[in-house]
Amino acid sequence: MKSTGLAKYAAVVLALAICSACSMAVGPSSAAPNVRYVDRMLSVNGRLVTAARANLSAPPRFATIVPDRLPGRQHEYIINDYASYAAVFDYPKSTDRIGKIKDVGGQGCSDVLYGYGKRTFWIVAGPEQITEYQTRNDTPIKTLSVSVGSPSSCAMDSSGDLAVGILYNASGSGGGGDIVIFKNASGLGTVMTTPLSEEYFDGYDNKGNLFFDGFTGSGFFQLVELPKDSSTFKRITTSNTVEYPGSVQWDGTYLTVTDQGTASMYRYTINGTTATLEGTVSLTGSSDCAQTWIAKDVVYCADANAGDGKAFKYPAGGTAIAILGSGFPLPLGTVAADR
């Protein structure tokens, strides 16, 4: 399935242009970070990231940073750029930050398909690693190594297997678009080559099928399925056009794909190699939800371009019901877990 033309996408993202044959500087000349595009992929300080766009010079809009205090029953995490930090929240008790996990960054996932994780969660925390944390003190439990390239995403199935997606390999020796499956979230992992050249987001459904999205070598969006207990990938054709890869997650009824290009979440039923659109959740007012996480009746958004976290009603969508923090360096991920 082909994505919309790059000219149309450039109109959608307004100030930032994405082209298929060049790299283009987009950050302000006075800004310290080096922000540019490599084909359709956003590069920040030499590392490719899964956000579609970013405004790293946006000033804070809400005075929400406060000293750490005793946490509530549930935690939400807005995870920033690699080697920065994850901000901790206890919404809806408060929209103030209650803590920080230092020296991490990227996307997150938990040990549930949707909702609040069972006291643990994962962060794609380094160039070649992914780390599990427990929410009691937000401290690391264990770290797994990924040797084939830079990990971009993670997902767990109901049996405890962990899937890690590979965005790219800086050495140019392959690995971009691969999926690494860690049985029981341990060991060295099994590397699987997929139809993608860059993998962005992944998620399991309630039957143990793994779905993930990204770009093909031709620069087109593609949704892919790895059926349970299979080693053969299936290209899935969506009944509507998806402009830019976003989070892939089961919501209890449908498989959802967030479109970073349209600030929307698409809810699909899957039949064979076809994903039929059953409904759209609009994330009104979001600038670029680099990752979303569905927590039953709420969906959280790590807004890379606005520099904050947002909460929306789910599946109603509409305008954000809460803003979590502001002035973050580059929100790339979000996840939620019980304490």
pLDDT digits (tens, 9 = 90+) for 22-40: 333 333 334 456 888 887 8
pLDDT digits (tens, 9 = 90+) for 275-328: 999 999 999 999 999 999 999 899 999 999 999 999 999 999 999 999 999 999
Q: DSSP string of 200-237?
A: EEEEE-TTS-EEEEEE-TTS-EEEEEE-TT----EEEE
Residues 6+ apart with CB under 8 A from 309: 76, 78, 87, 89, 300, 301, 302, 303, 323, 324, 325, 328, 331, 334
pLDDT at 60: 43
**For the chain, domain boundaries:** 6-49, 74-338
Could you tell me whether strands 318-319 and 274-284 are parallel, antiparallel, or unpaired per DSSP bridges?
parallel
Contact between 84 and 71 under an 8 Å Cβ cutoff? The reply is no
Could you tell me whether strands 234-238 and 274-284 are parallel, antiparallel, or unpaired per DSSP bridges?
parallel
Fold designation for 74-338: Methylamine Dehydrogenase; Chain H (2.130.10)
pLDDT at 32: 57
Flag whether pLDDT at 87 surpasses 50: yes
**pTM for this structure?**
0.86
Residue among 96, 55, 98, 118 nearest 329 (CA): 55
Of the pLDDT bands very low, low, confident and very high (cuts 50, 70, 90), residue 174 is confident
Question: Biggest alpha carbon distance in the chain?
Answer: 51
The Cα 107–Cα 154 span in angstroms is: 7
∠ Cα 140 248 26 (to 5°) = 85
Q: Is the link from the previous residue into 315 a cis peptide, with omega within 30 of 0?
A: yes
Looking at per-residue pLDDT, the higher value among 190 and 41 belongs to: 190
Chain mean pLDDT for the chain: 86
